[in-house]
Chain A
Amino acid sequence: MQTEAIRPLRFGFHRFAAPSEFYRLAGRLIPWFGTLAAALAAFALYLGFFVAPTDFQQGEVYRIIFIHVPAAWMAMFIYAVMAFWAGFGMAFNTRMSSMWACAMAPTGALMAFLALWTGALWGRPAWGAYWAWDARMTSTLILLFLYVGFMALHAAIDEPRRADRAAGVLALVGVVNLPIIYFSVQWWNSLHQGASISLTRAPTMAATMLEAMFVMMFAFWMYSIAASLARARAILLEREKRSSWVQALVSGEPEH
């Protein structure tokens, strides 16, 4: 008995699950996200240094907030997205999902490191110490360890699909750390200040400071997307180097 051929969807985003299609799309998107990141960062720096006023209590040192908070938010956000795609890849056995999770991990780790580093440089003049074993700082350090653990576990296993599954399990388990980081300032007596921005009450920061922080957060977001897309392309070339589309790509021939 003959079956009808399945007609492809006209606007099928699912085609980007194919490595060759994703590679091409990523190559087209990287310049846009990179340019947007640079423009937003420049605007955020202008707002942060020339528009936002000096803080009444902390003076000029508070301006570290314009990179510290965006880095911390991105570290948490990237981890959540990374864990989602790692889990998606395990559940539906899609190679591209796991590769995308691997592509995001180093950028997320970098954001976590920068959050800790800038936080330490802010903590010294504000609290008198570069570091304290405070709930938020410790849980953010654990987040960095989870990122490093994800990358190390993946690198330790030769077979890529097995590596994806093992690292994916670690990523999913580590998701429990995200609400711990977020709620740590409420659950424990914390040196770290509480949330200035809340869904249930008005922000406690000046509007100009808030604007600069949000613009820089979008800059970091656009940069993270650009960096992850670039890394995903490198991972695709590494894993798919023997496939026909990569062979055609590197030899400059049209793909058959």
Chain B
Amino acid sequence: MGGAGRYVWGAYGAVALALGAEILMLRARTRRARDLARRSSDWSKKEVQ
């Protein structure tokens, strides 16, 4: 890379890391949202009973 390796791979590495982190955080958020909705459903059923 003619001495530019740390800059080029640093840039591409940062992009890969950031996008990967975003995907993982999105999956975690969706899982949390579904769990919260499921708990809301359970609470509603208990109130009705």
Contacts and interface: CB of A to CB of B under 8 A. Distances in A.
Interface stretch (A147-155, A162-170, A194-202, A242-250): A242-250
Interface in A5-54: none
Interface residues of A, dominant DSSP: helix
A2 interface: no
Contact of B18 (A110, A233, A234, A251): A110
A230 B3 CA distance: 39
A117 B22 contact: no
A235 B30 CA distance: 8
Given A71-B15, A110-B18, A110-B22, A60 B37 contact: no
Nearest to A67: B15
A238 interface: yes
Interface residues of B, dominant DSSP: helix
A191 interface: no
A106 interface: yes
A187 B31 CA distance: 47
Given A223-B19, A227-B23, A61 B7 contact: yes
25 contacts: A61-B7, A64-B7, A68-B11, A110-B18, A110-B19, A113-B18, A114-B15, A114-B18, A118-B15, A121-B7, A121-B8, A122-B11, A124-B7, A230-B26, A234-B30, A237-B33, A237-B34, A237-B37, A242-B40, A247-B37, A247-B40, A247-B41, A247-B44, A250-B41, A251-B38
Interface of B: 1-5, 7-8, 10-12, 14-15, 18-19, 22-23, 26-27, 29-30, 33-34, 36-38, 40-41, 44
